[in-house]
Amino acid sequence: MGWSQLKIWLAATLPGLGGLGLLLTALIDSSFFPLPLLTDVLLISLCGAHPLRLPYYVAIATAASVAGNLCVYYPARKAGQAYFHATHTRVSPKIRRLVAEHPIACVLLPALAPFPIPIKPFVVAQGALQVPLATFILGTLAGRACRFFAEALVGARYGSAAQRLLFAQKWPALLVVAALVLSFFLLRWVWSFRARPPAQAD
């Protein structure tokens, strides 16, 4: 059975397993075997059918997603530095400084981003650039929890109509991500401006 056939089988089988299916879907999708949108659709469907179980579904989707991302982060952390050393590839100092100064934002924003923003390239970069493990876990946990909670609320409120919204949100999602990034840098600028010592008069 090839990967394409396996993916079709998983997409047809896992949704019928309820909460266990959601856990397995989030775990597999967040690791090296993408199942695009299946976690989101299944989460929305389950919360639409069982609104009172919303916290449970969000919790297992979040935990499984973090675990799956760790399966990508660890090899990237090991192989990334070995690759840079072996090929003498230099990462832009600006990128290294950005990650060093704002590691939590570099993890949180990609984890929070909705479809169609992919998270795996960011996870690989976070591992290769040595984002601390605790920062990676906390940022991914917070970002995934917020995203899944928002999707679960929409699913519990609107049911199957929420799935159609999910497929039609490409440009709004990109605008949301852009707004988050701009808000972060604006708050950073305001904070740094307020933290400056007052100029002393001659």
| Residues of the chain where predicted confidence (pLDDT) is lower than 50 | 88, 171, 201-202
For Cα atoms 94, 98, 103, give the angle at the middle one, nearest 5 degrees. 155
* Token code pair at residue 37: 């949108």
> What pLDDT, on the 0 to 100 scale, is given for residue 115?
66
Write down the domain spans for the chain: 11-161
pLDDT at residue 202, as a whole number: 46
b/e code 91-116 from CB counts within 10 Å (16+ = b):
eeeeeeeebeeebebbbbbbbbbbbe
The pLDDT of residue 64 is 96
The answer to whether the peptide bond before residue 116 is cis (omega within 30 degrees of 0) is yes
State how far the Cα of 104 lies from the Cα of 107, in Å rounded to an integer: 5
Q: List, for residues 155-185, the tens digit of each pLDDT value.
A: 888 876 666 665 555 545 555 555 655 555 5
Task: Please report the pLDDT score of residue 140 as a whole number.
Answer: 94
**Residue 114, H or E segment:** none
Please tell me the predicted confidence (pLDDT) of residue 3: 65
Closest Cα partner for 22 from 52, 51, 55, 65? 65
In this predicted structure, what is the pLDDT of residue 155? 83
